[in-house]
């Protein structure tokens, strides 16, 4: 029996989109741990958690979904975010609602290849990093890309809403 290549993960809507746009990326599978978050993936992959970017599915006061890309070691100030995007309020979606909007399971949400098109907001300091690791569309799977790809492919709007954890 052929040995399974652990370095390659099967395609996801996210990797298909990246390949279709000829984006250079590297695949980084790791052992998914329930509620491990970015600290666990960073630890397993030997990455700085600040450069591991989480994709958060949130909604405004009218339940319109949006994505927020945030440093792994930070949380989102929903007040600051709402103020900057002209919303009355912003809150995280319930997991089952987030899954429906994105087409991905929470813990495996990528901003690329989502089921629904949603506005994307990126913490502006992420754009200062040389490379970021972001979910590749499956639990236990990150891809490393240049952060500008988020602006180029997703039309991500820079915001300043990070709170240190």
pLDDT of 129 reads: 98
Residue-wise pLDDT for 37-88, tens only, equals 999 999 999 999 999 999 999 999 999 999 999 999 999 999 999 999 999 9
pTM passes above 0.85: yes
Q: Is pLDDT of 2 > 50?
A: no
- How far apart CA 142 and CA 119 sit, in angstroms, is 22
Location of structure tokens 């899954």: 99
pLDDT of 41 reads: 97
Residue 9: pLDDT band (50, 70, 90) is: low
């Amino acid at each position: 029996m052929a040995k399974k290549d652990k370095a390659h993960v099967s395609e996801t809507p996210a990797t298909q989109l990246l390949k279709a746009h000829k984006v250079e990326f590297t695949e980084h599978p790791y052992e998914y741990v329930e509620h491990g978050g970015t600290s666990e993936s960073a630890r397993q992959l030997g990455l700085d958690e600040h450069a591991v970017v989480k994709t958060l599915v949130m909604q405004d006061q009218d339940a319109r979904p949006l994505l927020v890309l945030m440093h792994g070691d930070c949380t989102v100030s929903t007040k600051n975010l709402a103020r900057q995007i002209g919303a009355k309020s912003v809150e995280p979606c319930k997991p089952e609602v987030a899954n429906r909007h994105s087409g991905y399971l929470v813990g495996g949400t990528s901003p690329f290849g989502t089921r629904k098109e949603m506005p994307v907001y990126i913490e502006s300091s992420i754009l200062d990093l040389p490379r970021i690791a972001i979910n590749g569309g499956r639990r236990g799977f990150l891809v490393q890309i240049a952060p500008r790809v988020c602006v180029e492919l997703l039309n991500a709007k820079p915001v300043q809403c990070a709170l240190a954890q």
